Structure 1
């Protein structure tokens, strides 16, 4: 039977961290925060801007938890939150312990998620102060974006959990005309509105980090889609052109 200290150390050793950004301007809207990037994602989205984080395998040069916690201590009074991103952070079974550790340090905690693991997301919801939920398409269009069978059902369940939790959140949809069409994007926005999403973001595609040479380098959302999203959500709609959740080297 492991001692308490051994059990505590075990999650720190298991957590697969890729990088740490001490000054993230756009990862939690309205806050200057630090972002911790975890490794692993079961989906292969056509426009993924962190493809090197998809494989769940420890990378050389990634910070360990001791380094991250020391950096967070040094940032007291300078940041107003810590975001866990990826990859898909719920792919890491040690995420609950890491979230609890950051909360114990006194920082508000945010999460970027696509909802790929609804059961794991449900367990960590009580530890979160904010969620950025990446909605990919309407139900029928999910697999074309994620290249993963069953992703629509998982994302749908997770979306419902996020809204029902009462945790402050935003739903964001990335527009690229080669990944989804306007009807798919419109249906996704209506789905978020039907659920009662508090804030909806239409994100313009950014080329940074994307490792897909077949994808057009630029894609501007149609004006009609922007108008419809604005009509659905009013002041709770944002057209975002800044890139968020981009992992450093």
Structure 2
């Protein structure tokens, strides 16, 4: 499978927020097996080409011109691991001298494992407690591999952080605390909670996610007590 077959939905040429402490180009890949209610990129869910989207050849031309300026390439989505062309793309960007970052919910360990030798950093999206994924993703058994990916990442030695999106209609304050507790018990050192952006969601009937400032501050303090790498990004 050639990297030329990568189905790209969009590109951010320069990003300071998608790979911690590195300047990156971020690619948003088409396709996702889940239908998370609060998804703010629903246009990326179908695994099909989009008119006007960048091709892999165009991406490579951009990267070659930016050698020495960019540190990394981040593959985001959608869910990038469902595309078989991701592996050769990672190999090609590594050969070009870039670090590789990945944003993933890890729906399949079988798809994630071959990518690990070619990754330098992973942002692992945790949706809920292991048994509570279906109300978020609308897909049954969707949490098993996601949580198992934590141990895979630890064994691989790839740097990673866990992140979650907090929507008050889907997660109680206590559930978010329990997620952080379980992650800390599994040896996760970096975890960030982001309040859901509700302006553009796959399921607009979910409504606004009202989380009070005192609750955010209480959560921030509780997370900081577990680890200095745990935080809230409101």
TM-score range, shorter chain: over 0.9
Distance in 2 between residues matched to 1:208 and 1:107, nearest whole Å: 34
Q: Which position in structure 2 is the counterpart of 1:191? A: 182
Deviation at 1:180, TM superposition (A): 1.3
- Alignment of 1:238 with 2:231, yes or no, is yes
Partner of 1:134 in structure 2? Answer: 125
Aligned residues: 231
In structure 1, the residue matched to 2:221 is: 227
Contact 2:36 2:136 in 1 (8 A): yes
* Secondary structure class of the residue paired with 1:171: strand
How far off is 1:140 after superposition? 2.4
Q: In structure 1, what is the equivalent of residue 144 of structure 2?
A: 153
- Quote the residue 1:53 is aligned against: 44
Q: CA deviation at 1:63?
A: 1.1
User: How many angstroms does 1:208 deviate by?
Assistant: 5.0
Which residue matches 1:111? 102
Match of 1:30 in 2: 21
Alpha-carbon distance in 1 for matches of 2:199, 2:72: 24
Paired position in structure 2 for 1:75:
66
Distance, in Å, in 1 between the alignment partners of 2:6 and 2:70 is 23
Match of 2:154 in 1: 163
- Mapped contact 2:169–2:209 kept (Cα < 8 A): no
User: Paired residue for 1:66?
Assistant: 57
Contact 1:170 1:199 in 2 (8 A): yes
Q: Distance in 1 between matches of 2:200 and 2:20?
A: 21
Identify unmatched segments of 5+ residues in structure 2: none
Moved more, 122-131 or 21-30: 21-30
Report how far residue 230 of structure 1 moved.
1.5
Distance 1:216 1:163 in 2: 36
Query: 1:207 corresponds to which residue?
Result: 198
Counterparts in 2 of 1:78 and 1:208: CA distance versus 1, 3 Å: farther
TM-score (norm 2): 0.92
CA apart distance, 1:238: 2.4
Counterpart CA distance in 2 for 1:228 and 1:141 is: 22
Cα drift, residue 86 of structure 1: 0.4
In 1, Cα distance between equivalents of 2:175 and 2:121: 26
Contact 1:204 1:219 in 2 (8 A): no
Whole-angstrom CA distance in 1 between matches of 2:3 and 2:116: 20
Cα-to-partner distance string for 1:66-117 (whole Å, 9 max, x where unaligned) = 1000011112222211100000000101111000000010001100000111
Cα drift, residue 14 of structure 1: 2.2
